[in-house]
Structure 1
Amino acid sequence: MPTPHHVPLAEQTRDGLVESVHYGSLIALGPEGTGPGNAEGTGPGNAKGTSTGPGTGTGTDTKVTAGDPDAPIYPRSSLKPLQAVALLRAGLKLEQDLLALTAASHSGAAMHQDGARRILEMHGLNEEALANSTDLPYGVAEREEWLRAGNGPTQLAQNCSGKHASMAAVCTINGWPVEGYLNPEHPLQVLVRDTITELTGEDAAAVSTDGCGTPLFAHSLRGMARAYGRLASASPESHEGQVAHAMRAFPEMVAGEGRDVTAMMRAVPGLLAKDGFEGLQLIGLADGTGVAIKISDGGDRARLPVTVRVLAELGVDADSLAALQIPPVLGGGKPVGVLRAAAFLPAADFQTTPAS
């Protein structure tokens, strides 16, 4: 596949000189039904939005776009909320905190590891049922505490253990074999693939394996933004709405203390947020607006300033965004520069319809 045509999205300055530049692509789609659409709803869409993708038949405004949002990318852990929808469709029933953990890339705190263990025990399983990789806790503070206690890498500490515990649980619910649940042809993973295809409105462009061992499907930023808009605006009774509501109610389970994803959901009412390795940020707003951002070099630090810039242009309350602090660039322990969004679009090109 050709290299995506990324553009500068973020830059770091030091005493007025641009020191580093992060390239990437992004898109913000308005709620479904707000664009002109087309007769069949099968077109890929364009810079100002004509179609929501295969078979949807409804228009969606493209509110913000930069770079190459139609190029296929691996969404990595930003797929977890969509995978959680599939698990609910397969009969999974959990309290909200554990459902949020199912959609999490958690920091590995005691509450996260205990939550994954609870999911397993509720379904007659133990840690041996997990097929994810082993790792240390993802959160810096959590990792340091874990190591001071003399612990090493485990499957429960690995940041995807909530998802894997729920995947193993769904197998017991349906009488499917737990062993081999990560095989792409396992009925669980077939359901996951079909659910992701439905929510994104597009077939996977490629298939690989994520870091934790789960099948990984490539989709466009446009398709991912569409899916998050659908989750964020879904009725509370639907499987999509249940996942979104659980993540908003327990943002500390989705990431952890000190993590920007947790901070975003606490700061902005109705906002749904999930990150992913290699510079992915997905956002859904309560009115059905979806945002997808990819930092091409995988630089995690660039996600937050770009996200804040896009949310501001979408009309999200400035006081809410002010709570999202972007650390200054230091020299000798003193601020000498900033990490900021680049001028990836002239301000006049943004549509600033307030978001709910």
Structure 2
Amino acid sequence: MPADAHSSLPVDARFASSALTNAPVVAHVVRAGFVESVHHGLAVVTAPDGSIELEVGESAGPVFPRSSSKPIQALAMVRHGLDSEGALLALACSSHSGEQFHVDAAREILARAGLSEADLQNTPDYPLDDGARTAWIAAGLPKQSIVQNCSGKHASMLATCVANGWDTATYREPGHPLQVAVSETVAELAGAVPSAVAVDGCGAPIHAIPLAGLARSFGRLAAAQAGPEARVAQAMRDFPEYVGGTRRDVTTLMQRIPGLVAKDGAEAVYAVGLADGRGIAVKITDGGSRARGVVVGAVLRRLGVDDAEALTALEHQPVLGHGQPVGAVVAVEI
């Protein structure tokens, strides 16, 4: 690649490219004692005051948090009239597995707003959970928006529009009042104006923010004692199975560690907030998810979190040979 190949890119894109390209190795894939592959990545821990407590790689570089943004997006909705509580609010923060209780909850959010599945504009898909997907396909059902993992967020976005009298047909447009409110909330919690806006996998806007800004956002949510932030965080803690699913590591993490909130995201992003106000954000630069939980687990161990069940759920990434474990993905440099 020519030395000036990035010269036509916006400054933030060059910054992100530099941070990702120069990221250190954070995990080894070990087979029978031999390092077969490596994963590069970024990790950051922010203190309760937002300062950086631990940094691996360049955490000031912007990244798309992908679905790790959902609790922040849900906060914007609550601030603007979304009246969901408990499980329904947790579903607004979710990348749910498409189990029946997730689907029922998404339908309830829509029904309460006087809407139906036809109003959803998230990308139709099969359920994320293996068992739910197999049953759905075996029943001869097509891909549908209601079982796609973002239906809780989209149903809640629509409900927020109804509460404010905003147009529901254009709710995904970046200039829509709902999306303007989301952008403002993302900037406030991250402490940085989004440097780029793109279309997420589900069709809604997604904002590029510094990885450290993502960590700060989760630290603030987890430490909140009152107001909309505390309401969102408590819903996630009380109903973690609605944020993920019955077989998801993000669910186990919130079930096991008091006060913690967490959200996984596509392209190997993971964000965690601890009750004391510290925030954690991880990005594996190749976008592959197998090292993501391993690195998050290593960071939590370094911070003194030692719940064996929760960390095992995160770090369990065996390397198989003839169907049997012959190695593992292990964290390094954390």
CA distance in 2, matches of 1:341, 1:134: 35
The CA deviation at 1:95 is 2.6
Q: Secondary structure at the match of 1:120?
A: helix
Are 1:268 and 1:320, in contact at CA under 8 Å, matched by a contact in 2? no
Are 1:267 and 1:323, in contact at CA under 8 Å, matched by a contact in 2? no
Deviations 1:211-248 (A, max 9, x none): 1111111001110000000000001x311111111011
Which amino acid in structure 2 is aligned with residue 295 of structure 1? I
Report how many aligned residue pairs link the two structures. Answer: 316
CA distance in 1, matches of 2:307, 2:253: 13
Determine the structure 1 residue equivalent to 2:285.
296
Which amino acid in structure 1 is aligned with residue 238 of structure 2? A
Which amino acid in structure 2 is aligned with residue 199 of structure 1? L
Q: Paired residue for 1:239, among 223, 228, 234?
A: 228
Determine the structure 1 residue equivalent to 2:195.
205
Determine the structure 2 residue equivalent to 1:142.
132
Are 1:104 and 1:255, in contact at CA under 8 Å, matched by a contact in 2? yes
Change (3 A) 1:169 1:322: closer
The CA deviation at 1:150 is 1.1
The CA deviation at 1:63 is 2.3
Q: Secondary structure at the match of 1:218?
A: strand
User: 5 Å matches for 1:115-126?
Assistant: 115-126=105-116
Determine the structure 1 residue equivalent to 2:166.
176
CA distance in 2, matches of 1:284, 1:322: 15
CA distance in 2, matches of 1:300, 1:141: 20
Q: Paired residue for 1:332, among 317, 322, 330?
A: 322
CA distance in 2, matches of 1:202, 1:288: 18
Change (3 A) 1:31 1:320: farther
Determine the structure 2 residue equivalent to 1:12.
29
Alignment gaps of 5+ in structure 2: 1-12
Q: Secondary structure at the match of 1:270?
A: coil
Determine the structure 1 residue equivalent to 2:304.
315
Which amino acid in structure 2 is aligned with residue 154 of structure 1? Q
Q: Paired residue for 1:260, among 226, 229, 249?
A: 249
Determine the structure 2 residue equivalent to 1:101.
91
The CA deviation at 1:68 is 1.4
Determine the structure 2 residue equivalent to 1:56.
none
Indicate the structure with greater helix content: 2
CA distance in 1, matches of 2:311, 2:97: 24
RMSD: 1.2
Determine the structure 1 residue equivalent to 2:9.
none
Scaled by the length of structure 1, the TM-score of the pair is 0.86
Determine the structure 2 residue equivalent to 1:113.
103
The CA deviation at 1:140 is 1.6
Which amino acid in structure 1 is aligned with residue 34 of structure 2? L
Are 1:136 and 1:154, in contact at CA under 8 Å, matched by a contact in 2? yes
CA distance in 1, matches of 2:59, 2:317: 28
CA distance in 1, matches of 2:129, 2:224: 31
Are 1:312 and 1:321, in contact at CA under 8 Å, matched by a contact in 2? no
The CA deviation at 1:338 is 1.1
CA distance in 1, matches of 2:255, 2:157: 27
Shifted more, 123-132 versus 99-108: the winner is 123-132
Q: Paired residue for 1:191, among 160, 181, 188?
A: 181
Determine the structure 1 residue equivalent to 2:217.
227
The CA deviation at 1:148 is 1.2
Determine the structure 1 residue equivalent to 2:237.
248
Deviations 1:144-168 (A, max 9, x none): 1111111110010111000100111
Are 1:86 and 1:191, in contact at CA under 8 Å, matched by a contact in 2? yes
Determine the structure 1 residue equivalent to 2:272.
283
Are 1:265 and 1:272, in contact at CA under 8 Å, matched by a contact in 2? yes
Are 1:23 and 1:296, in contact at CA under 8 Å, matched by a contact in 2? yes
Scaled by the length of structure 2, the TM-score of the pair is 0.92
In percent, how many aligned pairs have the same letter?
47
Deviations 1:28-53 (A, max 9, x none): 01111xxxxxxxxxxxxxxxxxxx4x
Change (3 A) 1:228 1:130: same
Determine the structure 1 residue equivalent to 2:57.
67
Deviations 1:229-284 (A, max 9, x none): 0000001x311111111011111100101111111111212111101000000000
Runs (4+) of structure 1 exceeding 3 A deviation are 318-323
